[in-house]
Each structure stands twice: as C-alpha cells, then as structure tokens.
C-alpha cells in the first residue's frame, strides 16, 4: 500500500507500539560475562524464561476443551510451578510430520524460574503429560536467559 504525506495518527501509534515491544527487553537481557556466565544489572536477578506452546487441536479430531485445559493446568502445571506462571490464549499454525499445515487454538504458558535440574525435569513432565494425554505430536518449548526484578 502506498502512503503519501504525513502518516495518520493510527499508523504512527502502531509503529510506536511495535518499536516499544521490540525494545522492551533490551536493557534486561543478561550480557555475557567472562567464562560464559550471565550477568544482570544491579537490582535484577538471573532467571530462565520458558515459554511452552500447547496446541489444542487433537489429531484424531476435536479440540482440547476449556475444561480439559483447566484440569491439566491445575493438576500438572500449577503444582510444578506454584510460585506463578502466565497463560496466554493464542492462535497458532505449524506444519506437522504429515506435511499438512495445522491451524489451531493454542495456549502459551510462560514460566520464570531459577535454572535447576528440578525445574528442567518438571517442564519435561509437563510436556510429556500433555503430549500423551491429548495425543500431541509436539509441544514447542522456547528458553531464554533473562534478568528479572520483582
């Protein structure tokens, strides 16, 4: 789309919002220190942020219902991370093993935690339980080192 003249207020606000989102975490990411360790600015603590992407389409048909999702969250995720988590509703798509593009309602679970073998095992259990219970081909896990301040 070609635009001329002064950008509209909406276009300017949209661009500003995109820049704000892109820059939001720039000051909080831990720079590399000698020896590969991560360092955080004063007042921040080093944490891991794991984001888990749970597709809700069931390959044999149907969807993981809201009630089934809530039961999974309450019985599996919350006990593993009782200190807190964030759940985000999303619409996702991906290409499965069959080569077909799957579009589905999804849930993202964001976990902020200290890095530990216990938490790594808990996340593996959460992913494995969801895959088995709802016949999922995969659950995507994204991990980043971050600095947080409460």
Question: What is the chain's alpha carbon radius of gyration, rounded to the nearest angstrom?
Answer: 19
From the list 150, 122, 140, the residue with the least C-alpha distance to 51 is: 140
Per residue in 50-95, pLDDT tens? 999 999 999 899 999 999 999 999 999 999 999 999 999 999 998 8
| Whether the predicted pLDDT of 150 surpasses 50 | yes
Q: DSSP E strands: which ranges in the chain?
A: 45-55, 86-95, 101-113, 140-148
| Secondary-structure class of domain 34-148 per CATH | alpha beta
Least confident of 1-5, 94-98, 138-142: 1-5
- The pTM of the full predicted model, rounded to 2 decimals, is 0.74
Residue 106 phi/psi, 5-degree rounding, is -140, 165
- Find the angle CA(27)-CA(31)-CA(37) to the nearest 5 degrees: 145
**pLDDT for res 9:** 32
Quote the tokens at residue 75: 């019985």
Higher pLDDT, 98 or 56: 56
The answer to whether the beta carbons of residues 87 and 107 sit under 8 Å apart is yes
Residue 111 to residue 67: CA distance in whole angstroms: 21
- For the chain, the domains span 34-148
């Amino acid at each position: 789309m070609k635009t001329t003249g002064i950008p509209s207020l909406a276009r300017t606000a949209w661009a500003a919002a995109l820049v704000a989102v892109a820059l939001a975490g720039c000051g909080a990411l831990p720079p590399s220190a000698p020896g590969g360790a991560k360092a955080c600015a004063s007042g921040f603590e080093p944490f891991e942020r794991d984001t888990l992407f749970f597709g809700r389409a069931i390959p044999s048909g149907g969807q993981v219902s809201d009630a089934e999702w809530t039961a999974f969250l309450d019985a599996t995720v919350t006990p593993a991370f009782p200190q807190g988590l964030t759940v985000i509703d999303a619409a996702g798509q991906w290409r499965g093993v069959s080569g077909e593009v799957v579009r589905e309602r999804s849930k993202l679970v964001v976990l902020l935690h200290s890095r530990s073998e216990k938490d790594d095992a808990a996340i593996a259990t959460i992913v494995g339980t969801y895959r088995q219970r709802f016949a999922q081909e995969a659950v995507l896990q994204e991990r980043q080192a971050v600095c947080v301040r409460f």
